[in-house]
Amino acid sequence: MDLLAVTAFGTVYAIATLVLLALGLAVIFGMMGVINLAQAELLMLGAYTVLLATSHGASVWAGIALAPLVVGLIGVVIERTIIQFLYGRMLDTMLATWGLSLALVGTVTLVFGPTTEGIATPLGYQTIGRYSIAHYNVFVVAVALGALGLTYGLFNYTGWGLVARATMQNATMVAGLGVNPARVYMATFAYGSALAGLGGAIMAPLTGVVPTLGLAFIAKIFITVIVGGPVILLGTTTSGAVLGLVESIVSYASTPMYGQVAMLAFAIVLLRLLPQGISGFWRRGV
């Protein structure tokens, strides 16, 4: 019984981290169509924000709160200097963001060194019979839910969200209505970056902080968003749930490495059967 509860929570936690890490990409790639290969480095910069904050005497929580702001601002700079010239040019975007990714990893390595820095995981443990659950992991699940709810609400129930969705559908049209599409793109990219910063910051105490931190996640988050399909947020959440479930079940049954393999294999099969992604057929239903 205890084992069941702990395993169930472990699965929820695996899904939550996947959704949290993929959420920023869901906005930038899913909604805006920007194949941002530097997305992993935005996660990494979020993690380094926490590291910097704690090494300067601030708490982990302050670092986590700061990370979305810092990485959001970095997102604005990236959008203004690189991305804004490349909308609609997929290959150029991939090349430029790949270069950006290498440059960011290189710069952070130069400044902070190539070693993994640890951040003490805050909060304690909850014992359930012979097992225990870290309170911080519960916090991660809560933040993932919060970030998802906030993003969903922002895009679906606010005027800004309606303008953003309209701009992503047809930028010339909103310009005819008096909206400056360049500003909407910039704000949306910054929001996606801030989400990535939050994700990286939340994961920092769990994974340790290293310049190549993002590499472990980049394939996973792209696959999650792609499997999610055209209904971006709910699709990404569903695919995060399905893929996270597969990963954690196989991980429990064997090892985490096989868990990853199973997840990727499952994603390939899923895309073979549903080339539009999980939410591809939802639209037809509506």
Partner 1 sequence: MSDIVLETRGLVKEFGGLRAVDGVDFVLRRGELRCLIGPNGAGKSTFFHLLAGTLRPTAGGIRFKDLDLTRLEPHEIARAGMGIKFQVPRVYDQLPVAENLWLSAHVRHGRAAAGTVADRVLDEIRFLQHRNTPVGHLSHGDRQWVEIGMVLAAEPELILLDEPTAGMTHAEARRTADLVREINRRATVIVVEHDMDFVRHLAAGVTVLHRGAILAQGSMDEIRDNPVVRDIYLGKRRRARG
Helical ranges in the chain per DSSP H: 2-25, 39-55, 60-81, 90-112, 135-157, 159-169, 171-176, 181-207, 215-228, 232-253, 256-273, 282-285
| Least distance CB 84 / partner 1 (angstroms) | 14
| Least distance CB 280 / partner 1 (angstroms) | 15
Q: Which is nearer to partner 1, 46 or 181 (CB)?
A: 181
d(CA 213, CA 221): 13
Cα→Cα distances 279→22, 233, 244, 247, Å: 16, 10, 17, 20
| Least distance CB 176 / partner 1 (angstroms) | 6
Q: Which is nearer to partner 1, 84 or 116 (CB)?
A: 84
Q: Are 228 and 236 in contact (CB under 8 A)?
A: yes
Q: Which is nearer to partner 1, 167 or 193 (CB)?
A: 167
Q: Which is nearer to partner 1, 24 or 235 (CB)?
A: 235
| Least distance CB 170 / partner 1 (angstroms) | 7
Contacts with partner 1, residue ranges (CB under 8 A): 159, 162-163, 165-166, 169-170, 172-181
Q: Are 40 and 214 in contact (CB under 8 A)?
A: yes
| Least distance CB 177 / partner 1 (angstroms) | 5
Phi, psi angles (nearest 5°) of residue 170: -160, 105
User: Which tokens belong to 14?
Assistant: 């695996």
Q: Which residue has the tokens 């290498």?
A: 102
Q: Which is nearer to partner 1, 58 or 182 (CB)?
A: 182
